[in-house]
Amino acid sequence: MKILITGGSGLLGSALKEISNITNHQFIFLSSKDCNLTNYQETFDCFKLHQPDFVIHCAANVGGLFKNMSQKVQMFEDNTFMTINVFKCCHYFKVKKVINILSTCIFPDKIEYPITEEQLHNGPPHDSNNAYAFAKRNGDILAQAYNEQYNMNIISVIPTNIYGKHDNFSLKDGHVLPALIHKCYLAKQKNEDFVICGSGKPLRQFIYNIDLAKIIMFLLFEEKNKENIIVCPNDEISIGEVGKKIAQCFEYSHKIRFDSSYSDGQYKKTCSNKRLMELLPEFKFTSLNDGLNTTIDWFIQHYECVRKN
């Protein structure tokens, strides 16, 4: 079977590549250098060339809080066009199953906790990332439409905050955990304060990218579940505590400072993994301590070539 992964050089795509040798399938890891998925003709030509049996749609224009707040037009347009073009080609080329990657940050701002899959469209998202959130939600609606009208098999996988090797460690546009890793690294190099933007109080659930990749490969061939599924560990931790763990890894805990002049964003996004655990009751998530140590070691070793923009 041919499995095409969009966003193949990104955080999740790289994790899927790392575990791809555990199967006998043929993998095609597509990056933006291979195809501009916001362009339909390029997307069509790529699908025609590779003729995939399965597609894992990881490609997205993503970023941290401040990118979501400052680049709303690009976030909405890029993610909308990519999803439309990929789904249209999956239909045309009769792809057997599509895994569509969403994010728990697209759930409503005002919501009952813990968050479940059924609540996705129950209200507006937080203002800070509404453009990205509505683009990805519209992708889920389009997936449901294709399933109903053309009997396709598209399910949306909704992970919490992903981290790991091959992340984007941009100080400006990266997600919170890789940005904090880079910031702490530089602070130690310069003997400056390790500044964490905001109060540090917001709570998040983090999933190691290799764990997510293993779960996605299971779901790709799992036939019982036809519904969207949240992927997350049970543990929830504050941004401040994450910052402290990162500082401990760098042996730089004595110079942490919080800058409350910055926005905290959404306070919490606590999700339920009940549906996932019913399918994979024995799955063991990588602990945050172990995942951070591995990620930071890799970041230091590859500092000159890691993504930082």
Per-residue pLDDT of the chain (309 residues; tens, 9 = 90+): 999 999 999 999 999 999 998 888 999 999 999 999 999 999 999 999 999 999 999 999 988 878 888 999 999 999 999 999 999 999 999 999 999 999 998 999 899 999 999 999 999 998 889 999 999 999 999 999 999 999 999 999 999 999 999 999 999 888 899 999 999 999 999 999 999 999 999 999 999 999 999 999 999 999 888 899 999 999 999 999 999 999 999 999 999 999 999 888 778 889 999 999 999 999 999 999 999 999 999 999 999 999 988
Question: What pLDDT shows up at residue 63?
Answer: 83
Task: Count Cβ atoms within 10 A of the Cβ of residue 159 and give its class: 0-12 exposed, 13-18 middle, 19 or more buried.
Answer: buried
Question: What pLDDT shows up at residue 172?
Answer: 85
Instruction: Give the residue ranges of DSSP H helices in 96-221.
Output: 130-150, 176-190, 209-221
Residue 163 is among the residues annotated as catalytic for this protein: no
In a domain, 106, yes or no: yes
In a domain, 213, yes or no: yes
Nearest-Å Rg of the Cα atoms of the chain is 19
In a domain, 10, yes or no: yes
In a domain, 259, yes or no: no
In a domain, 119, yes or no: yes
CB-CB neighbours of 141 under 10 Å: 11
Q: How many domains does the chain have?
A: 1
Question: What pLDDT shows up at residue 65?
Answer: 76
Given the residues 40, 92, 113, 132, the one annotated as active site:
132
Residues in contact with 4: Cβ distance below 8 Å, sequence separation at least 6, in sequence order = 27, 28, 30, 47, 50, 52, 54, 55, 56
| CATH number of the structural domain spanning residue 223 | 3.40.50.720
In a domain, 143, yes or no: yes
Question: What pLDDT shows up at residue 64?
Answer: 80
In a domain, 77, yes or no: yes
Which residues form the domain of 157? Answer: 2-163+205-231
